[in-house]
Amino acid sequence: MASPRAYKLFQEACNAVIPAGGMTVSEWSDKKRVLSAEASAEPGQWRTRRVPYARAWMDTVNDPYVHTEVLKTSSQVAKSETINNTCGYFIEFDPCPIMLIQPTIDRMKEYSKKRIAPMIRDTPALAAVVSDEKSRDGDNTTLGKSFVGGHLKMVGANAASGLASDPIRVVLADEVDRYPRDVDGEGDPLSLAIVRTTTFSNRKIVITSTPTIKGASRIETEFEHSHQFKYYVRCPQCDALQTFKWKDDQGQYRLVWEENESGKVTSIHYVCENGCAIEPHQKLRMLDPDNGADWYDKNGDTLSDVLDNRKHSGVIGFEIWAAYSPWLGWNELAERFIKASREAKAGNPETLKTFVNTMLGESWDTKNERPDIEGLESRAEDYEADVPLGALLLTAGVDTQPNRLECSIWGWGLEGECWLIYHEILWGDTSKQQVWSELEELLTEEFKCERTTATGERLVRTIDAACIDAGGHNAEDVKNFTKAHRGNKWLAIFGRATGAKEAITTKPTRMQGGALLWAVGPNIIKDKLFATLKVTDPGPGYVHFPKVYDEDGKEVENTEYFKQLTAEKRSRKQKKFDPKDPFGHSQYLYKKIRERNEALDCMVYAYAAKEHLRPNFPELLRKENLHCVKQSDTVYGDVVPEKKYRPRDYAGKMGGTGGFVSSWSKGRN
């Protein structure tokens, strides 16, 4: 029997960094891996030196003391090929049971067909050893490849039956941010897979993803718990060692470019931390370790130092983003950003989200989606009459509380542009008649328009429809009120937080006693409104707010209104995550972050009332043009004019109504 010391030496020899046969994953890949034409822009023999930073990703797998590797990356940085190489290495060189996971079975099937099968076909070393495996689990949740000494099991994270299996030595978990939280009631799919590896002392777990939502990003959590490395490069001018950054600590973009009107970048350079201008053609040389590039942790230790001296706990993390990509130019990166930020300004943040996730390799902070209060408040403007030119339709949204009714009147125009006309609080016991009479008065009020008729009088508008919340304390009162005024299109509504498919149902439910009740989808509407509140330039999708004055003509601070309007935030539901639709509205709930949110509710209900009318705005405008003269020299005709905001010349501010001021002030006291 060997002494403990001899045994330890023997064990360490077995665990040597360079495995028997003297090949690491990158060496295997450089020697044997062939990139297929259908899956690669550069088909043919794999060359690690084309992606120098990826050598570490592959060879860290060979370190006997690292059991888990985390890759938090953007796309376009060869992450998938690294996984494929690792997979090929274990199939041919170090055969064992391997599990490859994609978010869903469907995606796994596609991945298997488009990436794994061509790799095996075109890499002779793999083609010689691999055969297809018939699925053993009748429900077809796995795909398999067999080889002497092991098998490759390809599964979707959305099927527990595929994940629960025989022992596995190597788990390659791709795109973990798109895995469900819970699979078939059996818990976290990644944990289910990792549990399979516990019988192997030489297990390897590779976890990769582009991040998705901040606070809910799996890869971000895994990366935080790893020994973290970033890729440092040297400035060709001043030699300073640094990472590529999108923005520096002062919020300055480090890529500086000039763009033309169509969003094409005409010149670009990267600003070194010492201010040198680095030209795009210098990037590739900077990535080369021969020019000083290397992976460093936050203590300034290199990866090899940390691995050689075992200054880690077995989990190594790498972070990289598209600025490092040998394939994606900085100009293309900037152009994608220009497009995304233009769309975000127009109220559609989806492309920007995708840019942040897939190009910057960062998670998206949903806080970005919440309009900021100061921004909204500071853009309040003086309307030239109660109803500005563009507002072609008025609706009201009424929130009911035991001691008051809150009512917002909104004007709606072409291409989603809208105007808050008025917000009124009617104080009073809502189980008594008085406050309802006041509401009736308000909802039948005439509002003066900025437009004048052919005879020179101001056009007058009344409220076209109203939605009144019957989901709260006063359901019966609301039903009675709306029943009595059915001809006015005053609708009793209730919010359906989940499962709603439209802003407001087309057919109401008839209640006992004859009242009609419409279901409203508040989350659907809030998605739209929050996007629209992010639009910063007047025009399509822009939300206008009036300045508010007291009786003496002094401007009143209206912060409370804007606080209420932004009183909720979108947050992710814990369950029923749909990886096909990670950003879909069905995945979210709106949570109150402030107690009072009536202004938001009122806007939601007014929006529902507008939707109920299914207005044809171009047609409304056409009709109005028939009997109205055009305002001054501004043409607001069949098309949206470039500039329709005339200089202020109307002193009446909120017209003759004044109620917004007084009642709002009352409401705040």
CB of 243 to Zn ion, least distance (A): 13
Least distance between Zn ion and beta carbon 272 (Å) = 3
Residue 175: CB atoms within 10 Å = 23
d(CA 644, CA 314): 64
As measured in angstroms, the least distance from the Cβ of 416 to Zn ion is 46
Alpha-carbon gap, residue 487 to 609, rounded angstroms: 14
Cβ–Cβ under 8 Å, residues 155 and 99: yes
**Which residue number, 269 or 596, has a Cβ lying nearer to Zn ion?**
269
What's the closest the beta carbon of residue 239 comes to Zn ion, in angstroms?
A: 7
Shorter beta-carbon distance to Zn ion: residue 235 or 600:
235
Burial of 379 (C-beta count, 10 Å sphere; 0-12/13-18/19+): middle
List the x/- string, 472-501, binding to Zn ion by CB under 5 A.
------------------------------
CB of 230 to Zn ion, least distance (A): 18
Give the x/- contact pattern for Zn ion in 48-77, rule: CB under 5 A. Answer: ------------------------------
Residue indicated by tokens 């039903």: 479
Residue 295 to residue 226: CA distance in whole angstroms: 14
Residue with Cβ nearer Zn ion (282 or 536): 282
**Amino acid at the residue 382:** D
Q: Exposed, middle or buried, 441 (CB in 10 Å: 0-12/13-18/19+)?
A: exposed
Q: Which is nearer to Zn ion, 287 or 396 (CB)?
A: 287
In angstroms, what is the minimal distance from the CB of 155 to Zn ion? 47
Smaller CB separation from Zn ion, 191 or 274: 274
* 539 close to 640: Cβ distance less than 8 angstroms: yes
Q: Minimum distance from CB of 55 to Zn ion (Å)?
A: 25
The minimum distance between CB 235 and Zn ion, in angstroms, equals 3
Task: Please give the residues from 265 up to 324 whose contact with Zn ion meets the rule CB under 5 A.
Answer: 272, 274, 276
- 104: tokens are 């869903």
Q: At 307, which helix (H) or strand (E)?
A: helix 303-308
Q: Which tokens belong to 315?
A: 């989990």
For Zn ion, the closer CB: 253 or 645: 253
> Applying CB under 5 A, what is the total number of residues that bind Zn ion?
6
Fill in the per-residue mask, 227 to 256: x = in contact with Zn ion (CB under 5 A), - = not in contact.
--------x-xx------------------
**Contact in structure between 650 and 385 (CB atoms under 8 Å):** yes
Q: What share of the chain is helix, strand, coil (3-state, %, to 5)?
A: 35, 25, 40
Residue 169 or 234: which CB sits closer to Zn ion? 234
* Touching Zn ion, residues 336-375 (CB under 5 A): none
What is the C-alpha separation between 515 and 530, in angstroms, rounded? 32
Distance CA 30, CA 569 (A): 49
Question: In which residue are the tokens 């003509």 written?
Answer: 553
CA separation for the pair 14, 597 (Å, rounded): 65
- Dihedral sign for Cα atoms in the order 179, 181, 186, 187: positive
What would the x/- binding string for Zn ion be over residues 134 to 173, using CB under 5 A? ----------------------------------------
Q: How far is the CB of 337 from Zn ion (least distance, A)?
A: 23
Helix ranges restricted to H, 52-142: 54-59, 79-92, 105-111, 117-122, 124-127
- Smallest separation, CB 604 to Zn ion (Å): 52
The span from the first CA to the last CA of the chain, in angstroms, equals: 88
Q: Where are the alpha helices (DSSP H) in 346-453?
A: 350-358, 373-378, 433-443
Distance CA 99, CA 274 (A): 46
Nearer CB in complex with Zn ion: 271/475: 271
In the bound complex, what is the minimum distance in angstroms from residue 247's beta carbon to Zn ion?
Answer: 18
Write out the DSSP string of 470-527: -SSTTHHHHHHHHHHTGGGTEEEEEE--SS--SSB-SSPEEPTTS-EEEEE-HHHHHH
Interacting span for Zn ion (CB under 5 A) from 25-33, 264-272, 320-328, 553-561: 264-272
Choice between 45 and 252, CB closer to Zn ion? 252
Q: Which is nearer to Zn ion, 146 or 242 (CB)?
A: 242
Residue type present at position 488: N
DSSP 3-state of 461: strand
DSSP sequence for 65-81:
T--EEEEEE-SSSSHHH
Shortest separation between residue 195's beta carbon and Zn ion, angstroms:
48
Query: By C-beta, is 206 or 278 nearer to Zn ion?
Result: 278
Of the candidates 33, 29, 36, the one whose C-alpha atom is nearest the C-alpha of residue 55 is 29
Instruction: CB nearer to Zn ion: give 276 or 640.
Output: 276
Of residues 593-622, those binding Zn ion (CB under 5 A): none
Q: Provide, rounded to whole angstroms, the least separation between the CB of residue 240 and Zn ion.
A: 5
Q: Give the shortest CB-302-to-Zn ion separation in angstroms.
A: 21
Question: Is 237 or 631 the residue whose CB approaches Zn ion more closely?
Answer: 237
CB nearer to Zn ion: give 224 or 239.
239
CB of 594 to Zn ion, least distance (A): 47
Report the residue number, 330 or 590, with the smaller CB distance to Zn ion: 330
Positions touching Zn ion (CB under 5 A) are 235, 237-238, 272, 274, 276
